Amino acid sequence: MSEQANPFESLQEQIDDASAYVDADADVLARLKHPERVLETNLSVEMDDGSVEVFEAYRSQFNGDRGPYKGGIRYHPGVTRDEVKALSGWMVYKCAVVDIPYGGGKGGIVVDPDDYSESELERLTRSFAEELRPLIGEDRDIPAPDVNTGQREMNWIKDTYETLENTTEPGVITGKSPDSGGSAGRVAATGRSTMLTAREAFDYLDRDIAGADVAVQGYGNAGWIAAKLIHELDANVVAVSDSSGAIYREDGFNPVDVKHHKNETGSVTGYHNADQELSNEDLLTLDVDLLVPAALENAIDGDLAEEVSADVVVEAANGPLTPDADDVLAESDVYVFPDILANAGGVTVSYFEWVQNRQRFYWTEDRVNEELERVITDAFDNLVDTYESTGAPNMRTAAYVVAIQRVLEAYEEGGNWP
Ligand code: NAD
């Protein structure tokens, strides 16, 4: 994975690219390239042996013109202030592209959770929740899971917030477990929107997804569910990977079996039914119909993009292609369907969770999946209409045009505050 591209600069470049197709003053557009505020804090946390460790943590609130800030919290040793700022910006445009009433935010702690016990992680999470308390709230800023966080951490944050505020406010955070106010269908939502985007993309491009060869990079929450649901469309998932490496099978994998293997052994490598093991880079350059990057940002830079042989890329991860990679793939006529649409299922079902929390009325999984399908297919249709009507060079730029226009409308309707 390239270390070179700064994700915040990538975000700003993506906004600049789209700005050429939006009718607005430069000063108004400039505002869309910077966060409104960023919390940087140091969390002192007691370890099990009584010592104290200090962890850097961030929360960026990028833009709130369309509603409360919304976005996940990531636990990863590679978290940086610029990464969190970029991720918070992508959330603004993601919420706008699928037209849900949120702005964008994101948080992160510089930590490798594998190095800590559950009780240490609970104290770390509660300490972060305490720092976040003045900033968050169901009408202010609503965190959610991201890389290496899930229902457990969300439940801890909700409990800390509600205890300190002496209230019941499950909508302060989404991605909770069902008994703590989570929504049916939330865990699978990101992979589901990736599958829906791939399905609509193949339809738009007049290609059959049934029988298509698919490679999926990353076998966490987003990647493995995308692999499973795309396999259910009768596609051949011929390669998958995680941080330990990649596996390949010409006739395609059963993604559920691979997941069982990963649950048992901790990685996809070593799976008994694979024809061969590959490097992560080999997976990204396989000659497949569809490539789904579902790991971290900057997985494909300009140099690697020269070697990408997939015909269609659907981004489950946030920011997996650098702007250079985008240029190279556009020149090679590879269609890239961007993250802000393809992985928007997570935030869309988070929105449904928040709606259900506020109404204290819970939907069935079928209803959640139906509503999600409507949101993603509407957003897809809107995206391709904009792509065709504006002459934008690629789907990403067209998606930003849709999103920026929506954010600007909300901003302009709000008028100026002296
Ligand atoms: P996760 O931690 O569950 O999974 C990440 C996976 O990527 C793991 O399997 C890990 O081993 C793998 N990985 C890490 N480095 C790799 C490498 N170099 N090569 C191959 N695999 C590698 O995280 P997730 O929730 O699935 O998130 C993945 C991506 O999707 C992130 O970019 C995240 O921001 C984005 N995303 C997730 C959600 C969600 O609801 N989970 C929503 C929107 C976007």
Per-residue pLDDT of the chain (418 residues; tens, 9 = 90+): 445 678 899 899 889 989 999 988 888 888 899 999 999 999 999 999 999 999 999 999 999 999 999 999 999 999 999 999 999 999 999 999 999 999 999 999 999 999 999 999 999 999 999 999 999 999 999 999 999 999 999 999 999 999 999 999 999 999 999 999 999 999 999 999 999 999 999 999 999 999 999 999 999 999 999 999 999 999 999 999 999 999 999 999 999 999 999 999 999 999 999 999 999 999 999 999 999 999 988 999 999 999 999 999 999 998 899 989 999 999 999 999 999 999 999 999 999 999 999 999 999 999 999 999 999 999 999 999 999 999 999 999 999 999 999 999 998 887 766 5
Planar angle of CA 107, 113, 116, nearest 5 degrees: 130
Query: Residue by residue, what is the 3-state secondary structure of 315-368?
Result: CCCCCCECHHHHHHHHHCCCEEECHHHHCCHHHHHHHHHHHHHHHCCCCCHHHH
CA of 224 to the centre of ligand 1 (A): 9
Unique residue bearing structure tokens 């039914």: 273
Q: Quick check: is 363 in a domain?
A: no
**CA-proximal residue: ligand 1, atom 14 (nearest):** 243
302 and 335 share one domain: yes
DSSP output for 359-418: HT----HHHHHHHHHHHHHHHHHHHHHHHHHH--SSHHHHHHHHHHHHHHHHHHHH----
pLDDT of residue 412: 81
Q: Quick check: is 332 in a domain?
A: yes
Q: Are 198 and 210 in contact (CB under 8 A)?
A: no
pLDDT of residue 321: 95
What is d(CA 372, CA 376) in angstroms, rounded to the nearest whole number?
Answer: 6
Instruction: Kindly give the number of the ligand 1 atom that is closest to the alpha carbon of 267.
Output: 11
Query: What token pair was written down for 384?
Result: 């391709």
What is d(CA 250, CA 243) in angstroms, rounded to the nearest whole number?
Answer: 21
CA of 255 to the centre of ligand 1 (A): 16
What is d(CA 232, CA 224) in angstroms, rounded to the nearest whole number?
Answer: 12
pLDDT of residue 4: 60
Q: At which of 305, 324, 342 does a domain end?
A: 342
Lining residues, ligand 1, CB within 6 Å:
1, 145-148, 190, 217-223, 241-243, 280, 294-296, 316-318, 343, 346
333 and 196 share one domain: yes
193 and 338 share one domain: yes
Residue 106 annotated among the catalytic residues of the structure: yes
Q: What domain count does the chain have? A: 2
Q: Are 85 and 49 in contact (CB under 8 A)?
A: no
Q: Are 135 and 61 in contact (CB under 8 A)?
A: yes
CATH of the domain at 64: 3.40.50.10860
Instruction: Kindly give the number of the ligand 1 atom that is closest to the alpha carbon of 318.
Output: 32
Q: Are 59 and 94 in contact (CB under 8 A)?
A: no
CA of 238 to the centre of ligand 1 (A): 19
162 and 232 share one domain: no
CATH of the domain at 307: 3.40.50.720
Q: Quick check: is 24 in a domain?
A: no
What is d(CA 111, CA 341) in angstroms, rounded to the nearest whole number?
Answer: 28
What is d(CA 191, CA 225) in angstroms, rounded to the nearest whole number?
Answer: 5
Q: Are 412 and 33 in contact (CB under 8 A)?
A: no
Mutation choice for ligand 1 from 3, 10, 242, 284, CB with most ligand atoms inside 8 A? 242
- CA distances for 49 relative to 46, 117, 261, angstroms: 8, 11, 34
Radius of gyration, CA atoms only, the chain: 20
159 and 199 share one domain: no
Torsions phi, psi for 267 (to 5 deg): -150, 165
pLDDT of residue 1: 41
Mutation choice for ligand 1 from 2, 111, 243, 301, CB with most ligand atoms inside 8 A? 243
pLDDT of residue 297: 84
196 and 331 share one domain: yes
| 70, 85, 94, 106: the active-site residue | 106
Query: What token pair was written down for 62?
Result: 């990028």
> The domain containing residue 93 runs over which residues?
35-170
What is d(CA 371, CA 358) in angstroms, rounded to the nearest whole number?
Answer: 18
Q: At which of 315, 342, 369 does a domain end?
A: 342
Taking the whole predicted model, whether its pTM rises above 0.75 is answered as: yes
241 and 338 share one domain: yes
41 and 80 share one domain: yes
**How many secondary structure helices (H) and strands (E) does the chain include?**
15, 12
Q: Quick check: is 411 in a domain?
A: no
143 and 205 share one domain: no
Q: Quick check: is 379 in a domain?
A: no
Mutation choice for ligand 1 from 87, 142, 147, CB with most ligand atoms inside 8 A? 147
338 and 193 share one domain: yes
Planar angle of CA 325, 326, 328, nearest 5 degrees: 65
- Which has the closest alpha carbon to 8: 57, 60, 55? 60
214 and 333 share one domain: yes
Q: Quick check: is 17 in a domain?
A: no
Q: At which of 300, 324, 342 does a domain end?
A: 342
**CA-proximal residue: ligand 1, atom 33 (nearest):** 317
CA of 243 to the centre of ligand 1 (A): 10
Q: Quick check: is 370 in a domain?
A: no
44 and 86 share one domain: yes
pLDDT of residue 3: 53
Could you tell me how many residues make up the chain? 418
What is d(CA 317, CA 26) in angstroms, rounded to the nearest whole number?
Answer: 30
CA of 195 to the centre of ligand 1 (A): 16
Q: Quick check: is 205 in a domain?
A: yes
